[in-house]
Structure 1
Amino acid sequence: MLDPRLLRSFVAIVETGHFTRAAERLGMTQSTISQQLGRLEELAGHPLIDRAARPVRPTALGERLLGHARRILQLDAEARSLLRDPAGTAAISIGLPEDLATPALARGLAGFAARNSRIRLDVVTGLSRDLATRYRQGEFDIVVVKEDRPAPDCRASFPEPLGWFAAPEPGVEAGDPLALVTFPVGGLYRETMFRQLEAAGRRWYVAFSGSSLQSVISAVSAGMGLSLLPLSVTRGQDVRRLSGRDGEGLGEVPPMVVSLYAREDQAPIGELVEMVLAVLERR
């Protein structure tokens, strides 16, 4: 690899047309800059500067090298700048269920990142059970999950009321068997839904399985089937909550809990935990 110091001297000589001016630009003696050019020419095996010309100018080989030398020096400067800038050198990984990655939480995370340029946030959304497993395996520093009951090391938990939802127009809830709209295998609402209907003695089949919250709500709104959803995610959505006679035979659904787990409570993780908890409390 060519030494950037030698290339810097070569470029300075070409751009100034004089050894003396090049030395002044780089803050070195003329003899030093001449020695550095000589070392570069030894590596190249050919003269790179026509010393007889006035002002001096590059040889044919020197002209070919000049563009590459400038690019190498630019990359060298960028690499040095990168090493001086600590931005993004420390990572905090966070796992969230999709429906909790709200605009309010996103704004909180963005504000934290703006105040802590040294820290890089790695935020992942997914199914609660998968997120919980990955947290236990050490993949996340902070995780928020939905579960039946919090574990002993939970930092805080909040109730998550659930309800049965259907399209705005009545009809699908009267089906036998019931058409269901679900999340993929492993989704908590999916298994709770099945348990509730089986305990109530109702027949059912999965009519639609969506991998995202929006796809599930869209399918429910279109009348493809019923679904069990958190009340918090249905606000403003074109779906109808089943209750009373409409929901007869579906069973009362106990709330789940939203739990937050974190590996430590010292800054900066502690600051993030407090921000996430504040957002969850306002849901």
Structure 2
Amino acid sequence: MATSAKSNRSLFDLDLLRALVTVADCGGFTAAAARLHSTQSTISQKVRRLEELAGHRLLDRGVRDARPTDIGETVLGYARRMLALNEELSDALSGEGATATIRLGVPEDFAGGRTTRLLAVFSREHPQVKLEVSSGLSRALGDSYDRGELDLVLLKQRRGSRDGVACWPEPMCWVDAASAPAFAQNPVPLVAFPPRGLYREDMIDAIEALGRRWRISFTSSSLGGLQAAVADGLGISLLPARAVTAGHTVLGLASGLPLIDSIERVLLHRPSAGPEVKALAARLIRMLGQEQD
């Protein structure tokens, strides 16, 4: 009997999918290996095996980081859902575990500090709730929310792009290195998020409006990576005001660069969200509102 085409399709090992998700979340293989209590070479082998099964390159591997390709983002969405379903099945069979799950998405620069402390307190006070937190670029988080993969999401967006349960302005600054400024170089080196990332087009439009030539000198999906690249003199960037560090100098209006006031943060959940989601949203609203005071 002939074997059907469907029976020849690849079966994706959850262990391989977990390796990919962890590398994407950690931004690199070294940190992912530490989180999974494995070695960097083992994690790399698992990702390469997954790429062989998928027939596509899933990660762009840089010197300091690893970030998903476009196809990798698609695989990540499915991988997170498959891993979540596996955990739900395990909980159901054991008769234990949380009675509710909240899938939260936050930009990379909010996945720490006050946010994680708030989530830890929320988890202790709501032991019946299982939190699944994802971080990444706002555009990717928004796509995941639209696909139903997230219950609650904090995004950075152009003002008014989406209506949320709350929103706050996101003041922006043009920054250069304090010790080795790059703005006078020709062409102007730009430190930016990957294509389709927020702020990137604003930067290019502003430089071209000045009649200056430009080049992308450094790209990273990590805000920390961009901050370090600017501080080390690799180029100028447009960053949230709260991301300015001692290694930066702020380029004022005298530089000719325009004020960018079109960015905001917005918190989203569906009207049908359960009480646990709304309770967590209320806490995030209070925290983010305090930052504006």
TM normalised by structure 2 equals: 0.64
| Aligned CA distance change for structure 1 residues 111 and 171 (closer, same or farther; 3 Å) | closer
Matches within 5 A, 1:1-283: 83-85=94-96, 87-151=97-161, 153-169=163-179, 171-234=181-244, 236-245=245-254, 248-264=255-271, 266-283=274-291
Q: Distance in 1 between matches of 2:171 and 2:177?
A: 19
Contact 1:176–1:203 under 8 Å retained in 2: yes
Residues 135-181 of structure 1, C-alpha deviations (whole Å, 9 max, x = no match): 11111110111111234541111000111101113541111210111
Q: Distance in 2 between matches of 1:88 and 1:212?
A: 32
Q: Any stretches of 5+ residues in structure 1 without a counterpart?
A: 1-78
| Aligned CA distance change for structure 1 residues 152 and 145 (closer, same or farther; 3 Å) | closer
Once the 2 structures are TM-superposed, how far is the Cα of residue 255 of structure 1 from its aligned partner?
3.7
Contact 2:183–2:236 under 8 Å retained in 1: yes
Once the 2 structures are TM-superposed, how far is the Cα of residue 218 of structure 1 from its aligned partner?
0.6
Identify the residue that residue 42 of structure 1 maps to in structure 2. Answer: none
Please state whether the residue corresponding to 1:276 is helix, strand or coil.
Answer: helix
Percent identity among equivalent residues?
35
Contact 2:108–2:136 under 8 Å retained in 1: yes
Q: Distance in 2 between matches of 1:121 and 1:171?
A: 43
Letter in 2 for 1:262: H
Larger radius of gyration: 1
Contact 1:178–1:225 under 8 Å retained in 2: yes
Letter in 1 for 2:169: P
| Aligned CA distance change for structure 1 residues 186 and 237 (closer, same or farther; 3 Å) | farther
Residues 201-228 of structure 1, C-alpha deviations (whole Å, 9 max, x = no match): 2210011112211111111000110000
Q: Distance in 2 between matches of 1:91 and 1:237?
A: 40
Q: Distance in 2 between matches of 1:281 and 1:114?
A: 23
Q: Identify the range of structure 1 (264-273 vs 218-227) with the bigger mean alpha-carbon deviation.
A: 264-273
Once the 2 structures are TM-superposed, how far is the Cα of residue 249 of structure 1 from its aligned partner?
2.6
Q: Distance in 2 between matches of 1:269 and 1:217?
A: 32
Q: Any stretches of 5+ residues in structure 2 without a counterpart?
A: 1-89
Q: Distance in 1 between matches of 2:228 and 2:144?
A: 29
| Aligned CA distance change for structure 1 residues 171 and 118 (closer, same or farther; 3 Å) | closer
| Aligned CA distance change for structure 1 residues 266 and 243 (closer, same or farther; 3 Å) | same
Residues 80-130 of structure 1, C-alpha deviations (whole Å, 9 max, x = no match): 9x8453x33421101111112231111111111111112111110011111
Please state whether the residue corresponding to 2:183 is helix, strand or coil.
Answer: helix
Contact 2:123–2:131 under 8 Å retained in 1: yes
Q: Distance in 1 between matches of 2:241 and 2:120?
A: 26
Once the 2 structures are TM-superposed, how far is the Cα of residue 194 of structure 1 from its aligned partner?
1.2
TM normalised by structure 1 equals: 0.66
Letter in 2 for 1:260: L
Q: Distance in 1 between matches of 2:243 and 2:101?
A: 30
Letter in 2 for 1:168: A
Count of aligned pairs: 201
Please state whether the residue corresponding to 2:115 is helix, strand or coil.
Answer: helix
Q: Distance in 2 between matches of 1:266 and 1:101?
A: 23
* RMSD of aligned residue pairs (Cα, Å): 2.2
Q: Distance in 2 between matches of 1:253 and 1:131?
A: 23
Letter in 1 for 2:257: L
